[in-house]
Structure 1
Amino acid sequence: MINFNGTIVSEDANLLTQNRAFLYGDGVFETVKVLNNKVLFLEDHYFRLMSSMRVVRMEIPMNFTMEYLEEQILSTVNENSIAHSSRARITVYRNDGGYYLPKINTVSFIISAVGLEKQLYSFEKITYEVDLYKDFYITKQLLSSIKTTNKIINITGSIFADENGLDNCILLNDSKNVVEALQGNIFMILGHKLITPPVSEGCLNGVMRKQILSLANKIANLEVVEEIISPFDLQKADELFITNVIKGIQPITQYRKKSFATTRSAEILEKLNEMIGTI
């Protein structure tokens, strides 16, 4: 028996009492965009998920192939009649047993999905204001580059942003350098340079980040570099934008007293939509 919100009930009534993702954050996940019954950037998502499972020493099932993952995602979105445009999340967690030390390393997974109104990427907000989040910091380590079910910094940062009338916050690492935004990687345009922090700074090894780096290399007069960005550098930028696979590109228009253009961001967004239209 367990106590659930003041009522004694059978432990079987709550499946979370032994769930390791719930108890210890012992899980990893991927969020994907489905467009016209296709999983965008499937290979990148699959290999990042496999890498994440290896990093946290989960046992990868023999049948957990890229084709199997695709089949499971598409069956979920089709069952919900949202295969034309949707976001799906696959959460992989270590099976029940043990405390900090698990008894086994086998896994289970859950896939959930919701429909999206738009198929192509677009700028959802014309004005988008951000500031730094300095209550907690990202550590420069391998675990910071994968998507685990422990996202408490992103949660507290999102609450901070909401309380202060901000659209997003920029996270810093323990060296006080820029890492990423709450919901995606961050890019800075300065003159003819497109700059984003290297993964070694603690940022997520984002799937959309990879696409943007590849696309930007094909745009004339734009040099792509991965280098450390300080908070002071942000105020020197011509443009700032955030990327993830669901929203694509979200330009930042205001950081403290500095306003930013969105010209090159729009150019990259156009190239991105051209690319997914051919997938």
Structure 2
Amino acid sequence: MTNSLLNNRGFLYGDALFETVKILDGKILFLEDHYFRLMSSMRILRMEIPMNFTMEFFESEILNEVKKEQLETSARARMTVYRKDGGFYLPDNNAIDYVISVSKIEKPIYEIENTTYEVDIFKDFYVSKQLISTLKSTNKIVQITGSIYAKENALDNCILLNEDKNVVEVLNGNIFMLKDKTLTTPPVSEGCLNGIMRKQIIALAKTIDDLTFTESNISPFDLQKADEIFITNVIKGIQPITKYRKKEFETSLAKSLISKLNVKIRLS
């Protein structure tokens, strides 16, 4: 083990946040949303935000790493922000540092693959119904154990519940349910991630004339009555769920929204 890890608060206590962005043609998609979510999260965790940590700084630091790896055409980048070394549960100070990692994305444009995507509910652990659950912190043990459970049971993903047994999200993104032309997603107050792609899809859904949108509680039983269910995150865009237990689902709204999303990106 390196000495840097021995004292790193992100490693020792999960005292860290991260922001994963998608780069397309040398541009960070949804830059402002990512930056302001990170700033808000840092304030909530009482981290000290340096004066030079502007949106332009955030953008340039990420794009410089992307350029070094020659991945300007299409990449994913993760900035992990952690409180500097010192202290135990109580930190010596609230100053921060950060590290950026970059990797290639094979399919730059958002698209939906016509493949079976099966999910079920993960019941071993629950997401807490509180503000801290909505942040992209490095405390992801529920998602890790849920991912292992999914692999052991030949599932593509798992649905996470909160202590009220309401649907919160999936292992790697937010969840939306379509029933009788009403699109529903759990409110952030249920403990779900305040997702960047969630925000984009909500905005696009509100532009569809014959579609009603609502943020409301969803029960596992509601899912079995749905016409369509899909997952959102900034890397994949939209991933339709095609099977939950014995129920199979349509994918038409997901396909329509992904087309609108790609148009929005091209115009921005």
TM over 0.5: yes
- In structure 1, the partner of 2:157 is 168
Match of 2:61 in 1: 72
Q: What CA distance in whole angstroms lies between the structure 1 residues aligned with 2:76 and 2:208?
A: 28
Q: Which residue of 2 aligns with 1:119?
A: 108
Match of 2:72, SS state, is coil
Distance across 2 between alignment mates of 1:32 and 1:124: 21
What does residue 19 of structure 2 align with? 30
Residues 164-195 of structure 1 show CA distances to partners (whole Å, capped at 9, x for unaligned) of: 00000000000000000000000000011110
Name the CA distance, whole Å, in 1 between partners of 2:124 and 2:208. Answer: 37
Q: Which runs of 4+ in 1 moved over 2 A?
A: none
From 136, 139, 161, the counterpart of 1:147:
136
- Partner in structure 2 of residue 217 of structure 1: 206
Partner of 1:10: none
1:194 aligns with 2:189: no
CA distance, structure 1, for counterparts of residue 28 and residue 54 of structure 2: 14
Q: Which residue of 2 aligns with 1:245?
A: 234
Q: Which letter maps to 2:255?
A: A
- Partner residue, 1:102: 91
Partner SS, residue 103 of structure 1 = coil
State the distance in 1 between where 2:90 and 2:31 align. 32
1-structure distance, mates of 2:115, 2:259: 16
Per the TM alignment, residue 66 of structure 1 is displaced from its structure 2 partner at its CA by 0.2
**1:8 matched to which residue of 2?**
none
AA partner of residue 49 (structure 2): I
Q: Deviations over 1:168-223 (max 9, x none)?
A: 00000000000000000000000111100000000000000000000011112111
Deviations 1:80-139 (A, max 9, x none): 000111000000000000000000100000011101111210124511000000000011
Supply the distance in 2 between the matched residues of 1:91 and 1:64 (Cα, whole angstroms): 14
**Cα offsets for 1:136-182 (capped at 9, x unmatched):** 00111000001001100000000000000000000000000000000
1:7 corresponds in structure 2 to none
Deviations 1:36-85 (A, max 9, x none): 11100000000000011011100000000000000001101011000111
Task: Select the residue among 78, 81, 84 that pairs with 1:89.
Answer: 78
SS at match of 2:89: coil
Determine the structure 2 residue equivalent to 1:184.
Answer: 173
Within 2, Cα distance between the matches of 1:185 and 1:173?
A: 14
SS at 2:267's partner residue?
Answer: coil
Distance in 2 between residues matched to 1:124 and 1:136, nearest whole Å: 30
Alpha-carbon distance in 2 for matches of 1:42, 1:266: 24
Unaligned 5+ segments in structure 1 are: 5-12
Counterpart secondary structure, 2:79: strand
Q: Pick from 41, 57, 73: which aligns with 2:46? A: 57
Matched, 1:267 2:256: yes
Partner amino acid, structure 2, of 1:137:
Y
1:206 is aligned to 2:200:
no
Question: Is 1:235 aligned to residue 254 of structure 2?
Answer: no
RMSD over aligned Cα, in angstroms? 0.8
Q: Distance in 2 between matches of 1:124 and 1:46?
A: 30
Normalised to the residue count of structure 2, the TM-score between the two structures is 0.99
Partner of 2:31: 42
Q: Which has the larger radius of gyration?
A: 1
Equivalent-residue separation in structure 1 for 2:234 and 2:226 (angstroms) = 24
Instruction: Structure 2 unaligned segments of length 5 or more: list them.
Output: none
**Cα distance in 2, alignment partners of residues 84 and 162 from structure 1:** 31
Matched to 2:183, the amino acid is L
